[in-house]
Amino acid sequence: MALCGDLQRVFEIGPVFRAENSNTNRHLCEFTGLDLEMELKNHYFEVLDLIGELMVFMFKNMKTRYARELSVINEQYPFEEFKCADPVFKLNFREGIKLLTEAGYKQSEFEDLTTETEKALGKIVKEKHDTDFYMLYGYPINARPFYTMLDPHDPRFTNSYDFFMRGEEITSGAQRIHDPEILAKRAAECGIPVETIKDYINSFKYGTPAHGGAGFGLERIVKFYCNLLNIRKTSLFPRDPVRLTP
């Protein structure tokens, strides 16, 4: 909505609270969110490229600026050095499904990846391209929320993407639908009462540029960079569905 006010790029770092009963080694109920949204000029790959350059810059500088801290972690929780190709490797979702099929995995191109196939694809990419970080784009429509822009060439798929570290997802993002009529139509198709999100939809009626973005969890990035077994190791006071104090 901030882009409606002609803010071409919006960045935010702040606390995120997640009210879901996710008891896994990569989910927290409270974490630090790194969010960005930006205007597009021609194609949603502009978002992928900006995030890719940002992450490569961050990964490279972590090795030099925080070498001492990383060595301390490595002494207690040994991990292999994180590898990141520059530029970041992009993989189309359907091409990723072909790689999984060739490796003997059963995964439909019209369904979201499972944890198993997600990790398997990460291993395949690491073997073929020697990188722990890559982008997967063009997810099927039923794997994305209503506000995701559809692929203009094949509406069964979307202008969306995930980023992966060591074979596991660290963020999901997409080009957002900026046309209020299409947005209302997609909400209705997904069973969402349009009246309940009217303020959101109405904001786009003033005119909004094509845009996209993503939201990262800082703790999850640290978890996978240092290849820690549990995300709770990355937070001083981790909050999960069964821990509120201390």
Query: Which residues participate in catalysis according to the annotation?
Result: 18, 20, 26-27, 169, 172, 220
- SS3 for 215? strand
Where are any strands of DSSP class E within 42-159?
Answer: 89-92, 133-137
Long-range contacts of 39-43 (CB under 8 A, 24+ apart): 39/3, 39/8, 39/9, 39/209, 39/210, 39/211, 40/175, 40/209, 40/210, 40/211, 40/212
- 154/95 Cα distance (integer angstroms): 15
Burial 91-105 (b: 16+ CB within 10 A, else e): bebeebbebbeeeeb
Residue type (1 letter), 200: Y
